Structure 1
Amino acid sequence: MRRTVRAAVAAAAAVVALAGCARVVTGEAVSIYADPFAVAGLPATDGPSGPRPDAPHAIPSVHGADGSDADALASAAIADLADFWSTEYPAVFAGHFRPVTDLTSWDPNVDGSGRFCGESTHGVVNAAYCTRDGSIGWDRAILLPTLTDTFGPMAVVMVIAHEYGHAIQHDSGLAGADSPTLVLEQQADCFAGAYMRHVAAGGSNRFTLNTSNGLNAVMAAMVAVRDTDPNDPEAVHGNAFERITAFQTGFTLGARGCTTIDEAEVAGRREQLPQAFTRSGESGDMPVTEQSVGMIVDSLNSVFGLPEQPTVVYSGADTGCPDVTATEPVSYCPATRTIGVSMPELIDRGTPYDVGAAGQGVDELAVDIRGDFSAFGLVASRYALAVQQEDGYPLTEPSTALHTACLTGVWTAATAAGGTPALSPGDLDEAVSGLLTDGLMASDVDGETVPSGFARVDAFQAGVLGGADVCTNRYG
């Protein structure tokens, strides 16, 4: 965030484990949105995520495959996707489903190792769908192993599902000759989400996916391979917020819901959100100081208009509040209506990681994206507890956690609409990252969060895109 609307931060980060400071609570599922233990209508579950040990051995033939674990995983994903789309395709589209059978694997380290889509694969660290011949190919030596090591095997399955989604949109005619690339990428993310729900619901005989850490890791992989500069002509996948939104559309509504993603729908989502960076080298981060925290609280006062506004103290998050567990680096005390801040820790949370002059490479896939919003979003989330207290809601229920994330999203949208300070494009990525890796931004007054990062991000999105009434209807 900063004082000018067009500023932004090119997020920099380092790979971290999917763990955090907020404490996770457990419960039973009730409904699709209001229930904090539901994931788009499915219960939030733990358990295995990855290939089933009793999966069918029959896998398709792949050009250039060398029998590696990466090839076996990608090939099993192709076979499973064919099974899924053989049923789903005729339920959504006219015509007959044609499985993708032209498959290629390569090692980008080896010169002359092969060709894909008419080009040499030397140096190509990627997975892709070729519109020229309807084939799918992948790098078995760098990209797929890195995804597996960082996020688990289901991240590879998600990437293959995304590429298979391109095949579906082209075969079905959903993709037109003049369709913007961003729209095609958003549709493919959505189709990947529809398939991942099929797996999470137990419909796959090759893979399993739990809806807590397993699904969190899949979404984290999408955050890692996001666009970071909307001004870059090659930025065609969308930022983390956009990619996750499209994925969640498919996971929630199924493949048919993905057909509603078109140029107008994407433009509508983008209309009130920041998309432009300042000139190269100019940061969108605002220093995290007592003064800037005060500006954030003033902004929150303006958005929510509480008759009794919280006071802020900078002597530490632990203010000695009775019957409340202090949360670092910022906490809320209902008894005194005080927000306590540990400034050194908050500054650390708002400081971008330094990934070096070379920038972020495939060996530095990042989900813990930090910047000023990583700090200011936490302040907003503790203020959101004061809003709930004023409205008479409990502050220690699981629904409180999602209500908090939703109200934080409401404030975020207000800053995007020209508030002071103003939202920068990288701020949304920092918000999604925090919701997936830490969860404090979606926690109750004691720092208790819910197990599903999907539910946490969905609640924040509801506030950003739907407003305060949605928060009340879902979580009030």
Structure 2
Amino acid sequence: MARQARLGGGDPAREQCHLAAPGADVRRVVLTAVAATATVVALAGCSRVVTGEAVSIYADPFAVAGLPATDGPSGPRPDAPRAMLSIHGANGSDADALASSAISDLSAFWSTEYPAVFAGNFRPVTDLASWDPNVDGTGRFCGESTYGVVNAGYCTRDGSIGWDRTILLPTLTDTFGPMAVVMVIAHEYGHAIQHDSGLAGADSPTLVLEQQADCFAGAYMRYVAAGESNRFTLNTSDGLNAVMAAMVAVRDTDPSDPEAVHGNAFERITAFQTGFTLGARGCTEIDEAEVADRRAQLPRVFTQSGESGDMPVTEQSVGMIVDSLNTVFGLTQPPNVVYSGADTGCPDAAATEPVSYCPATRTIGVSMPELSDRGTPRDVGAAGGDVDELAVDIRGDFSAFGLVASRYALAVQQQDGYPLTEPSTALHTACLTGVWTASTAAGGTPALSPGDLDEAVSGLLTDGLMASDVDGETVPSGFARVDAYRAGVLGGPDVCTNRYG
């Protein structure tokens, strides 16, 4: 967060081929489609996953866009037949086999989905390419050398899809599991659907096309999660969480960069969740006006080039956050804040590090050293950085301030008479935290900075304390946690009450 934030940014230039620039260093990822890796870091001791029966008729806290929150396998079905596709440059690697199976499954999905959404006949993608970016002079894709191209892409010139089988796909599999690779291929297939259907116009902004492709990937992933795929399975707890974490890792990190044409983590996850919830037809509603409306008050450039907008996490800055929360929610009995530790000896709630809420005393307890550590940025990369440095554990000041806001949200629920230890409480907490987040985007002090939403999404996926009840208990689905937070950011307090109250 920052003391001020300004809006801005221009339309990115259209690109002919959605992949890395030719000649790029082999260890660099220039993200123009979907490509990157990450390390999912679970922060121990902050929240606990609980199971049980649904308690909300309107919004089942154990549901994922209408599907049950399930565990179990995620990845290729053991009995799935090997896809026999012609792939230029393929060498029979496991990565090529996985990508080939994904192409075959996507063709099956779109063979029924395409005529239900678009006019005309569906044409499966058959022009495929695989390459080793370490080898110079042997591979070509979209008319360019693939040397140094650690990426996957769709080529608008000839309608082909290609991928790096040596670095990108194996690392994605090792880090997130094989369904992260399938998600990447689904995104690229989404570009093919755009162009064949005419959804992609000559003047369509690249950002809109990328958001649509993320959305189409989400629609396909629901097909898999619903058990309709003959080749893959996807559970809706840690399996879907890992797929979404991969999307966090391929976010745009500096919205003022002219090459930032895909969206930040919040935007990419929003598009993905739209497809997962509404299906492919919902993705056709993503256009320039819809994206602009979603972005309306959210910051898109840093205050100065290269600045993150982070404030030091101190007692003074935490006090500023609490003052802001007091203004937004206007509680008749706002909570007190103590800085001597998260464990305040509360008689009716467990201590949650690094910040907790005690209903009996209406006190927020803060362990300042731990909270400050949570709000300290990690020296990791993202799209456009070294593939080995990418991480989904994105930290900054909002990683800390969002936790303070979430404990304050429990005080809001307490005053309104809601229970503080139900599964729905966790999602209500995330939603109200989103409401406060949106208020900081409207200006004033503090003000939302571009990286803050990404830090929030990261925390919701990797830890969940921001979406937990008074005892720190959360729900299994990172999708549900992020969706609740997003509802508060984009929908406001009435949405929180209607869904989770």
1:466 to 488, 491, 494: 491
CA 1:110–1:439 in 2, change beyond 3 Å: closer, same or farther? same
Once residues 416 and 282 of structure 1 are traced to their aligned partners in structure 2, the CA distance between those partners, rounded to angstroms, is: 17
> What is residue 6 of structure 1 aligned with on the other side?
6
- Residue 146 (structure 1) shift: 1.1
Three-state SS of the structure 1 residue aligned to 2:162 is: strand
Q: Give the distance between the partners of 1:200 and 1:138, measured in 2 at CA.
A: 24
Q: Read off the aligned partner of 2:179 and give its amino acid letter.
A: M
Q: Deviations over 1:82-121 (max 9, x none)?
A: 0000000000000000000000000000001210000000
Conservation of the 8 A alpha-carbon contact between 2:308 and 2:451: no
Partner of 1:137: 162
Confirm or deny that 1:385 pairs with 2:398: no
Q: Give TM-score, length-normalised by structure 1.
A: 0.97
Q: What is aligned with 1:334?
A: 359
> Following the alignment from structure 1 to structure 2, what is the Cα–Cα distance between the partners of residues 32 and 81?
34
Distance 1:19 1:374, change over 3 A: closer
Shift of 1:29: 5.1
In the alignment, structure 1 residue 368 sits paired with structure 2 residue 416:
no
Relative to structure 1, is the Cα distance of residues 49 and 33 closer, same or farther in structure 2, using a 3 angstrom cutoff? farther
> What SS is found at the alignment partner of 2:87?
coil
Deviation of 1:418 after TM superposition, in Å, equals 1.1
Write the distance in 2 (CA, Å) between the matches of 1:243 and 1:271.
Answer: 16
> Does structure 2 retain, via aligned residues, the 8 Å contact 1:369–1:433?
yes
- Please tell me whether the aligned partners of residues 32 and 40 of structure 1 are also in contact (alpha carbons under 8 angstroms): no
Cα contact 1:146–1:363 (8 A) shared by 2: no
Please report how far the alpha carbon of residue 59 of structure 1 lies from its aligned counterpart in structure 2 after TM superposition: 2.7
User: Which residue is 1:296 aligned to?
Assistant: 321
Deviation string, structure 1 residues 173-195 (Cα, Å, up to 9, x no partner):
00000000000000000000000
C-alpha displacement at 1:279, in angstroms? 2.6
Q: 1:228 to 1:185 in 2, by over 3 A?
A: same
Does residue 439 of structure 2 align to residue 419 of structure 1?
A: no
Q: Distance in 1 between matches of 2:298 and 2:139?
A: 42
Secondary structure of the residue that 2:129 maps to in structure 1? strand
Deviation, structure 1 residue 355: 3.4
Pick aligned residue for 1:17 from 38, 41, 45: 41
Given that 1:31 and 1:41 are in contact with CA atoms closer than 8 Å, whether structure 2 keeps it comes out as no
In structure 2, the CA distance between the partners of 1:40 and 1:459, relative to structure 1 (3 Å rule), is same
Corresponding residue of 1:286: 311
**1:360 offset after TM fit, Å?**
3.4
Alpha-carbon distance in 1 for matches of 2:382, 2:329? 41
What SS class does the counterpart of residue 363 from structure 1 fall into? coil
Structure-2 separation of matches of 1:131 and 1:359: 22
SS at match of 1:419: coil
Q: Mapping of 1:152-231 within 5 angstroms?
A: 152-231=177-256
Contact kept? 1:31, 1:38, Cα under 8 Å: no
1:56 to 49, 68, 81: 81
Does 297-306 or 268-277 show the bigger shift?
Answer: 268-277
In the TM superposition, what is the alpha-carbon distance from 1:268 to its structure 2 partner? 0.3
Distance 2:57 2:80 in 1: 30
Alignment partners' CA distance in 1, 2:81 and 2:239: 22
Deviations 1:286-320 (A, max 9, x none): 00000000000000000000001100000000000
Equivalent residue, structure 1, for 2:150: 125
Q: Which moved more, 1:457-466 or 1:15-24?
A: 15-24
Q: Do 2:382 and 2:391's aligned partners in 1 also have CA atoms closer than 8 Å?
A: no
Using the alignment, how far apart are the partners of 1:69 and 1:38 within structure 2?
Answer: 33
Cα 1:32/1:369, change in 2 over 3 Å? farther
CA distance in 2: counterparts of 1:134 and 1:358, whole angstroms:
24
Structure-2 separation of matches of 1:290 and 1:360: 34
Read off the aligned partner of 1:88 and give its amino acid letter. Answer: E
Measured after TM superposition, the shift of residue 366 of structure 1 is 1.3
Change over 3 Å in CA distance of 1:365–1:32 after alignment to 2: farther
How much does 1:420 deviate? 1.6
* Cα distance per residue 1:329-376 (max 9 Å; x no partner): 000000000000000000000001123899832222211100000000
Letter matched to residue 425 of structure 2: T
Aligned to 1:309: 334
SS at match of 2:388: helix
Letter in 2 for 1:22: S
Deviations 1:210-262 (A, max 9, x none): 00000000000000000011111111110000000000000000000000000
**Does the CA-based 8 Å contact 1:32-1:42 persist in structure 2?**
no
- Aligned-partner SS, 1:307: coil
State whether structure 2 residue 141 is matched by structure 1 residue 147.
no
User: Are 1:102 and 2:131 counterparts?
Assistant: no
Match in the other structure for 1:43: 68
Contact 1:33–1:41, Cα closer than 8 Å, also in 2? no
CA distance in structure 2 between the partners assigned to 1:405 and 1:219 by the alignment: 17
Instruction: Identify which of 474, 477, 484 aligns with 1:452.
Output: 477
Structure 1: any 5+ residue segments left out of the alignment?
none
Contact 2:337–2:364 (Cα < 8 Å) also in 1 = yes
8 Å contact from structure 2 (residues 208, 287) kept in 1: yes
Shifted more, 417-426 versus 344-353: the winner is: 417-426
